[in-house]
Chain A
Amino acid sequence: MKTWQRDTITSILAIIVFAILTGLIYPLAITGISQVAFPGDANGQQIHLDGKLIGSKIIGQNFGTPVLEKNGKPREVKGAVVTEPDPRYFQTRPSATEGGADNAAASTFSNHGPNSVKTKEADEENIKAYLELNTAPNKQEYDPGLTVGRIPVDAVNSSASGLDPEISKANAWIQAYRVAAVRGLPRSTVDGLLAKYTAGRGLGFSGEEGVNVLELNLALDRMTKGKG
C-alpha cells in the first residue's frame, strides 16, 4: 500500500475516533458532570418568582414597560417592542442587541467607532434619556448634584454583549435617589440593598465592582410588597 493511501485510511479513522472522543464524549461528560455538580450555574442561574421564570441572574434585562399605541397595542419598530424605562426600577446599561434591547437570543455589539459622529450622537441620546429618567415631574433632578459631567460612562456607553447584568456603583447611587423617591423608601434602605448586591472584584483585584440590577430590583419589590 502506498503511503498516501495509508494516510487516507488513518485520517478517516482518526477523524471518526477524535469526533467521538472530543465532539461527543467530552462535551457530554462536562455537561453531565456540571448538571449534577453545579445545576444552578449550569442552567444559567435562573430566577423564579411565584413559580414563574422571570430571568437569569447573570443576563441583563430591560426594565422598561411597552409604549402603547392609541389602540392599546404595544408600539413596534422593526419588529421590536418600543419601551420606556420604568422609574421604579434600576435600569441596566444601554444595549445594542437586535430585535430590541437585552435580546439574549441574539447578542450583538454596538460597533460604535471611537471617532464616529454616530457614536457621539448615540452617547448624547443616552445622556439625554438618563437625565430625563432621573428628573422628577417637578423638573427637579432626584439627585441634586446630577450634571452631564457626573454621569458615569457605563450609564451611557452600550455594553459589549448587550446583556450586561451589572451597572457601576456610581450609576446605582444616582439612580438610588430616583428609586427611593418614586417608591417612597428611605435612601438608607435602598443604599443598604445596593451594597448587598454589589459584587466585588474577582480575586480582590480583577475587573470592576458591579451592582446586579435584577437582584436589586427584585429585592426592592419584595420590600415594597412586605410593607403594603
Chain B
Amino acid sequence: MTFAGWFTIGAFAVVLTVLALPLGTYMAKVYTGDRVFLSPILSGPERFLYRLMRVDAERQQDWKSYAKSLLIFSLAGWLFLYFVLRTQDAFFVPHALNPLGYHSPPANVTFNIVSSFLTNTNWQYYGGETTMSYLSQMIGLTVQNWLSAGVGIVVAVALIRGIVGRSGKGLGNFWHDMVRTILYVLGPLSVISALVIASQGVIANLSTYLTVHTITGLEQKIAMGPVASQEAIKDLGSNGGGFFNVNAAHPFENPTSFTNFFLILLVLIIPAALIFMYGRMTGNRRQGYAIYAVVIFMFLGGASVAYIAEAHGSPAQHAAGLHTGVIAGSGGGNLEGKEQRNGIAGSALFDVATTVTSNGSVNSSIESYTGIGGAVPFANLSASEVIFGGVGTGLYSILLYVLLAVFIGGLMVGRTPEWLGKKIEAREIKLAGLGILITPLAALFGTALAVATKGGRASISEVATSAGKLGIHTPQAFSESFYAYLSQANNNGSAFPGYTGLIQPNAGNLGAHGITFADVLGGLVMLFSRYAPILFALAVAGALVGKRVTPAGLGTMRTDNGTFAVLLIGVIILVGALTFFPALLLGPIVQGLTGHLY
C-alpha cells in the first residue's frame, strides 16, 4: 500500500461529493419543471421532441399508466436493438460502418445481449472488437446506453413524487421525464465528458483496423472505432458495456491514470447527485444527507478492504516466490489482470465503484482478484445495488430499504411507522418486501440451475477448473457461475470473464455459436429482475402518493439523523448477508481464507 493509493481513495470521495451536490440541485429543478440555466437553449428542442413523438407532456399519469408507457417503450427498444444486431451484415448497412464485414451474432447470444443492454446490465458474452460493427455499437448499443439509463432515472423520480406527493394520483409523465433526462441531464454531461476523454487519448474514429509492422518484424492488428462517445455514456449511465472485450482495461478506452480517475467519477456522479436530489425534492436536504452518509460509508469500506487485499498479493504469487510488497519503482501487489498505469489502488477503486453501482465496467480482471478482494464486488452485488447503485435503480432500491427500515424501526418503538409524514401500512411493506427480494431470488435460482446442470457447467472456463481430482468443482468454478447470475440479476454486468456463453472461433462471428443455456437463462434473469422491481417501486409510489400527510410529532421516528443511518446500514447488511452468506462461503470467502492452491 502507498500513501498515493490511500490519497486517491480519499480525494475521490471529496471530489465526488463536491461535484454531486450542485448536480443534485440542478436535477431537482429539472424534474420539478423549474427553469435551469440550460432552459433557454434546450426548451425549444424539448418542445420539438414532444411534437415529433406526439406527446402531451402535461398529462399526469397514475402509476399504472406510467408503468404501461415504460413497458411498451422498453419492448419497442428491445425489438429495435434485436433488429439492428441481427441485420449487422444486411445489404443496407453501409460498408464504412461495418468495415470488417462482421456477420450478425447468433440468435441466442443476441437475445442475451439485447436483454442485457435494455436492462442497463450490459453483461457481455461477446468481445466488442471481434463481434460488433461500428453501426451496431452506435445506433444499437449506444442508444440503449442512453435509454436504459433514462428509464432507471425516471422510475426513481416517479417514486420520489409518490413519496412527497400531496394530492391526487399523478406521478408525472413518463415521456416528459424521459425527454428531460436525455436533454437536460445525460446530454450535456455526455458531450462534455466524451470530449474530455477524447482529448486524453480515448479514440474516436471510423477507420478500419490498423495493420502495424513492428520494429522487430512482427505484424500487429489494432482495433479502432468510435469509442469516446460510447465510453462517456457507458460510465455516466451505469451501463458498463465495453467497446472492447477488456472494457476499461483497454488503453483505447482508458489511456491514462487521469482518465481512470475521471471515469470513476463519471460512474458515481449521477447516482450520488440523485441522492441529493431526493433530499431537495422532499424539502428536507438532510433526508438526502442521511442516505448519502450510509452509501459513502459502505463504499469507502469496500474500497479500503479491496485495496488492502489486492496490495497484499495472491497465494499463487507467493507460491511462485514473488515478492508482492512495495519496492522502489514498483507498487507491488496482485497485478495479475491489472494495468500498470492504474496500479492497485486505481484498479480497486474502479472495481468497487463499478460494482456498487450497476455499472459493471471493469479496468481489471475480477477473476484474478484475491479471494477477499474479489469478495468485495460479491458483497456489493449482494447488497442488491443500493450502495449508490445504478442511475435511478440505486435510489429507488435504497428507498425501498428505507421503507423497510422505517417499518422495522416503528416496530421497535411500538408506533405506527411513518415516513415523511405518511403512514406506512401493510400494502406498501408487502410491495417493498417483494421488490427487495426479487433480485436475490433470481440470482440464487439462476446460480443453482447453472451449477446443478450440465448445460450450465458448459460455460465454466478451463482455467477455473483444476487438473486434479477436483475437476470442475473448484471454488473458482463456483465463483464464476455464482458471479455470473448475481451480476445479471443485479443488472450489473461485471463478470468473472472466464464464464462464457459464446463460442467464437473467428473474429466477425463466422462459425460462432452461443451456449443456449447460459444465454437464455441469463437473459431471462436480467429481464425479470429489472422490470419486476420497477413495477413494485412504481406500485409503492402509487400507494404512497394519495396518502394524507400528518405533521411530525414528538414520537415520530426521524429518517434524517445518524441513528436512522445506522439502522439503515443494519437492514441492508442483514438482508444481504442472510440471503447470500451461504453461497459466498462456497466461493470467494473460502478462497480468501486459505493460502491453499488447487
Chain A, residues 133-155, CB within 8 Å of chain B (1/0): the string is 00000000000000011111110
B220, A61: Cβ atoms closer than 8 Å = yes
Report which of B130, B210, B224, B329 forms a contact with A106, defined as CB distance below 8 A: B130
A207, B195: Cβ atoms closer than 8 Å = no
Q: Smallest Cβ distance from A122 to chain B, in angstroms?
A: 8
A170, B328: Cβ atoms closer than 8 Å = yes
A203 adjacent to chain B (CB < 8 Å): yes
A170, B329: Cβ atoms closer than 8 Å = yes
Q: Which of A89-105 contact B (CB under 8 A)?
A: 89, 93, 102-105
Q: Smallest Cβ distance from B319 to chain A, in angstroms?
A: 5
* Given known contacts A150-B323, A210-B341, A218-B215, A10 and B329 CB-to-CB distance under 8 angstroms: no
Report which of B257, B364, B370 forms a contact with A202, defined as CB distance below 8 A: B257
Chain B, residues 200-239, CB within 8 Å of chain A (1/0): the string is 1111111101111111111011111010111011000000
Contact partners of B467 in chain A: CB under 8 A? 117-118
* Given known contacts A42-B205, A116-B598, A202-B257, A106 and B8 CB-to-CB distance under 8 angstroms: no
Chain B, residues 400-441, CB within 8 Å of chain A (1/0): the string is 000000000000000000000000000000000000000000
A157, B261: Cβ atoms closer than 8 Å = no
A115 adjacent to chain B (CB < 8 Å): yes
* Number of interface residues, chain A, beta carbon within 8 A: 116
A26, B246: Cβ atoms closer than 8 Å = no
Give the one of B314, B319, B329, B363 with max A CB within 10 A. B329
* Given known contacts A106-B127, A148-B322, A157-B334, A56 and B139 CB-to-CB distance under 8 angstroms: no
Chain A, residues 2-43, CB within 8 Å of chain B (1/0): the string is 011011111111110111011110111111011101100111
Q: Residue on A with the closest CB to B204?
A: A34
Contact partners of B129 in chain A: CB under 8 A? 105-107
Q: Residue on A with the closest CB to B78?
A: A15
Please classify how large the interface on chain B is, using the bins under 10, 10 to 19, 20 to 34, 35 or more.
35 or more
Report which of B209, B330, B365, B464 forms a contact with A160, defined as CB distance below 8 A: B365
Chain B, residues 362-377, CB within 8 Å of chain A (1/0): the string is 1111011111011000
A27, B252: Cβ atoms closer than 8 Å = no
A52 adjacent to chain B (CB < 8 Å): yes
A207, B342: Cβ atoms closer than 8 Å = yes
A221 adjacent to chain B (CB < 8 Å): yes
Report which of B73, B142, B213, B257 forms a contact with A208, defined as CB distance below 8 A: B257
B142, A53: Cβ atoms closer than 8 Å = no
B507, A41: Cβ atoms closer than 8 Å = no
The complex places the Cα of A102 from the Cα of B233 at a distance, in Å, of 28
A18, B72: Cβ atoms closer than 8 Å = no
A105, B222: Cβ atoms closer than 8 Å = yes
Give the one of B139, B226, B340, B496 with max A CB within 10 A. B340
A8, B72: Cβ atoms closer than 8 Å = yes
Contact partners of A12 in chain B: CB under 8 A? 76
Contact partners of A104 in chain B: CB under 8 A? 220-223
B104 adjacent to chain A (CB < 8 Å): no
The complex places the Cα of A35 from the Cα of B314 at a distance, in Å, of 43
B335, A11: Cβ atoms closer than 8 Å = no
Q: Residue on A with the closest CB to B218?
A: A62
Give the one of B147, B217, B317, B365 with max A CB within 10 A. B365
B203, A26: Cβ atoms closer than 8 Å = no
B52, A163: Cβ atoms closer than 8 Å = no
Contact partners of B333 in chain A: CB under 8 A? 153
Q: Residue on A with the closest CB to B183?
A: A21
Contact partners of B257 in chain A: CB under 8 A? 199, 201-203, 206-208
B249 adjacent to chain A (CB < 8 Å): yes
B190, A160: Cβ atoms closer than 8 Å = no
Contact partners of B55 in chain A: CB under 8 A? 10
The complex places the Cα of A86 from the Cα of B213 at a distance, in Å, of 16
The complex places the Cα of A205 from the Cα of B463 at a distance, in Å, of 35
The complex places the Cα of A201 from the Cα of B332 at a distance, in Å, of 16
Q: Residue on B with the closest CB to A100?
A: B218
A63, B54: Cβ atoms closer than 8 Å = no
Give the one of B200, B317, B468 with max A CB within 10 A. B317
Contact partners of B476 in chain A: CB under 8 A? 113, 115-116
Report which of B8, B199, B211, B371 forms a contact with A114, defined as CB distance below 8 A: B371
Chain B, residues 134-158, CB within 8 Å of chain A (1/0): the string is 0000111011011100000000000
A201, B4: Cβ atoms closer than 8 Å = yes
Q: Residue on A with the closest CB to B224?
A: A44
B203, A42: Cβ atoms closer than 8 Å = yes
- Contact residues of A with B, CB < 8 Å? 3-4, 6-15, 17-19, 21-24, 26-31, 33-35, 37-38, 41-46, 49, 52-56, 58-66, 81, 83, 86, 89, 93, 102-120, 123-124, 127, 148-154, 156-173, 199, 201-203, 205-210, 217-218, 221
The 3 closest A-B pairs by CB, nearest first: A207-B257, A202-B258, A170-B329
